[in-house]
Amino acid sequence: MSRNKRKTSALQAVAVTTISALFILTALFGLYKCFSQEPTLRPSGPAAPDPDPSAAQEPENPEDDARPLSSEERKEHFYTVLMAGLDDENGGSDTNLLMALDAENGTINVVSLPRDTLLNVSWSVKKLNNAYHHGGISQTRTEVSRLLGIPVDYYVTVDLRAFVELVDAIDGVDFDIPVDMDYDDPEQDLHIHFKKGPRHLTGQQALEVVRWRQNNDGTGYATADIGRIGTQQAFLTAVAKQTLQVSNLDKIPEMAEIFSTRVETDLKLANLIWIGEQALSMGSDSIAFHTLPGDGAGYYKGGSYYVLDPEGVLELIDTYFNPYKRPLTREDMDILVP
């Protein structure tokens, strides 16, 4: 595997943890700022992201925060947010997650969208992470919406350098490392050595754990990237439990600074605070993580792809991520089947 490919795979692991942790930290940020506002959806057509990164400011007019909505009847207090980790070296969105916040029922669901997911698009490399190269976060957002058959109401992108800062801001994380990790890459000056079992991780150590894919002797997760996503999601659960503690209130200014410098979004700051307050009131047990069902060893026209299982995807999205009051059908989705 080339050096660039190794770096890209590492960055997607970092993004999964960083993006979700940032949403949890926003809850504390909201208490610090002392104001919040629920996002507003307005019926007018397909959504389009706000290209202005400065959008995360206190709204002057509540109507300015309204996002377009299709004519279909939607559930109340239910929002979808695309969370993307940007690969600064390769200029792409290397990790994407979709969050569904159901404030009415007190649940937050996050689904990992594998970077190699096969898309029904015109360009030659039909992978989800390639959508960013064809139109930035706007194109990625459009493709996720078409693929899954639901609107993507908002987006959040994060600078991956936030990862170490965030973990250190909460004084590290207690985590049960699932396997022995022994990996050295002199070209990247990357050295990962951990024994299986519980350990308190600093920001740098946590970075190494979520970056790890396999050992130098070739041993590793039996299911490759899907196995690593499982470790990332377990780590996120540990981060959520540690972050949502009263003892972290004195760290709010530091967390707010990390958030303000590392994140771009078309959500208003008051909306982010509202989302954070919902997460704080629900608690970490209300957050569930999923992965799109599919085959990581799939092929399409000679290329290697993550090929989705249409029926499995339909069941998952309709159960946890469907913002409409009516059930979804396969015809709503644009899943390419080889």
- DSSP string covering 166-227: HHHHTT-EEEEE-S-EEEEETTTTEEEEE-SEEEEE-HHHHHHHHH--B-TTS-B-TTTHHH
Of 305, 312, 307, 271, which Cα lies nearest the Cα of 290?
Answer: 312
Mind listing the pLDDT tens digit for each residue in 301-338? Answer: 999 999 999 999 999 999 999 999 999 999 999 999 99
Positions of the chain with pLDDT under 50: 1-13, 27-28, 30-31, 44-65, 88-89
The pLDDT value recorded for residue 191 is 87
What are phi and psi for residue 162, nearest 5 degrees? Answer: -70, -20
Q: What is the predicted pLDDT for the residue at 231?
A: 79
Residue 54, class by beta-carbon neighbours within 10 Å (0-12 exposed, 13-18 middle, 19+ buried)?
Answer: exposed
> Do residues 166 and 203 make contact, with C-beta atoms less than 8 angstroms apart?
yes
Question: What pLDDT was estimated at residue 22?
Answer: 55
- Tracing tokens 């699932």 back to the chain, one arrives at 178
How many C-beta neighbours within 10 Å does residue 255 have? 24
31: exposed, middle or buried (Cβ count in 10 Å: 0-12, 13-18, 19+):
middle
pLDDT at 127: 94
Q: What is the pTM of this model?
A: 0.72
**pLDDT value at residue 246:** 55
Question: Which residues make Cβ contacts (< 8 Å) with residue 52, sequence separation at least 6?
Answer: 266
Contacts of 104 (CB under 8 A, 6+ apart): 75, 76, 77, 78
12 close to 85: Cβ distance less than 8 angstroms: yes
Which pLDDT belongs to residue 217?
A: 85
